[in-house]
């Protein structure tokens, strides 16, 4: 730890729970933020200010105006330029703390790339917007003995839970199956921006405790910022027949590439099974006569009402204006190619 570090983090070092040794551990830590939306954007800023030495920022999406109400790192210019969230988050983190490493990864986390994207991570913070990704994270974390912290928020309600392999139940122990039926989302039920900040802050607090060697109680914590209710419920013990932490089948980690999925209440479908590099500049020139095209070097946005295609350099695309995977595939094939 340098003299500059001692000065910068002096108030944190004074706190007995962290101290000089804890700060050195934070500086040496590598934390993956999976999903840089309402939770993940807060994670990134808080970790940077705490002096976590390396932050992996993983997100598949881009900044939109509707994000600005609750996604703390982003500005109007990020939405206007349709910047990928990982890129915008890394730029913001660099302005907050230029002495740490913020690595943006504009990717969708899949079984095929999770080893590469999470390489070196000593802890994972969950900012994902779907259970599919969380089951995948859980399999990887259990298999690699890496702690991760689940979090979610919608409306005025949120919750968080630490998963520490070998010490607590895992995510699949607590949630053997994803919730059935239509679930509320920020797009359908709205969200109060303070609940996302509260849940994300709680997640980062748990992360700091784990990274500095402090003990963490295996509890599910729920919050409601509108009613003021806060509850702590003890996590169940690990399930002896859990496919992830007991049987180690890791069925999500070893599964095949995923089919197109509808995105969290957004009237959009992601096509993420066409892994091939694209020359976006050339594609922009091809599509320009057919509709509106915006290209910023990181992603291409093509608008042909009532649909909008956002295409990334790896061939992945988000198609807005439909929740029908077949139609999304058709639009992809029509304008991007098979």
Residues with a catalytic annotation lie at 186
The answer to whether residues 114 and 253 touch, using CB atoms and an 8 Å cutoff, is yes
SS3 4: helix
Cis peptide before 306 (omega within 30 of 0): yes
Give the torsion through C-alpha atoms of 129, 131, 132, 135, to 10 deg: 120
SS3 252: coil
Residue with tokens 């939405």: 79
Rounded (to 5) percent helix, strand, coil in the chain:
35, 20, 45
Q: From CA 86, how far away is CA 247, in angstroms rounded? A: 34
Q: From CA 90, how far away is CA 57, in angstroms rounded? A: 7
């Amino acid at each position: 730890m340098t003299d500059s570090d001692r000065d910068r983090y002096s108030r944190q070092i004074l706190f007995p729970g962290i101290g000089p040794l804890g700060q050195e551990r934070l500086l040496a830590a590598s934390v993956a933020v999976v999903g840089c939306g309402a939770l993940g954007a807060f994670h990134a800023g808080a970790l940077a200010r705490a002096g976590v030495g390396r932050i992996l920022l993983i997100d598949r999406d881009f900044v939109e105006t509707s994000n600005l109400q609750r996604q703390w790192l982003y500005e109007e210019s990020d939405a206007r330029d349709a910047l990928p969230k990982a890129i915008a988050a890394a730029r913001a983190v660099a302005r907050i703390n230029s002495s740490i490493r913020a690595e943006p990864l504009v990717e969708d986390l899949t079984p095929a790339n999770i080893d590469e994207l999470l390489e070196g991570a000593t802890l994972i913070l969950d900012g994902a917007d779907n259970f599919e990704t969380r089951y995948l994270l859980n399999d990887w974390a259990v298999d690699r003995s890496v702690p991760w912290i689940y979090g979610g928020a919608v409306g005025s309600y949120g919750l968080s839970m630490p998963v520490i392999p070998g010490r607590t139940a895992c995510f699949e122990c607590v949630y053997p199956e994803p919730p059935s039926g239509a679930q509320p989302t920020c797009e359908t039920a709205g969200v109060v921006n303070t609940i996302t900040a509260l849940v994300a802050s709680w997640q980062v607090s748990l992360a700091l405790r784990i990274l500095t060697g402090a003990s963490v109680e295996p509890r599910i914590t729920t919050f409601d910022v509108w009613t003021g209710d806060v509850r702590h419920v003890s996590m169940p013990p690990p399930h002896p027949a859990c496919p992830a932490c007991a049987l180690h089948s890791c069925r999500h980690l070893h599964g095949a590439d995923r089919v197109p999925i509808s995105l969290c209440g957004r009237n959009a479908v992601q096509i993420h099974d066409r892994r091939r590099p694209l020359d976006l500049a050339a594609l922009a020139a091809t599509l320009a006569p057919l509709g509106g095209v915006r290209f910023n070097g990181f992603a291409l946005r093509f608008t042909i009402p009532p649909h909008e295609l956002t295409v990334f350099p790896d061939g992945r695309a988000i198609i807005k204006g439909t929740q029908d995977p077949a139609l999304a595939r058709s639009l992809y094939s029509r304008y991007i190619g098979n």
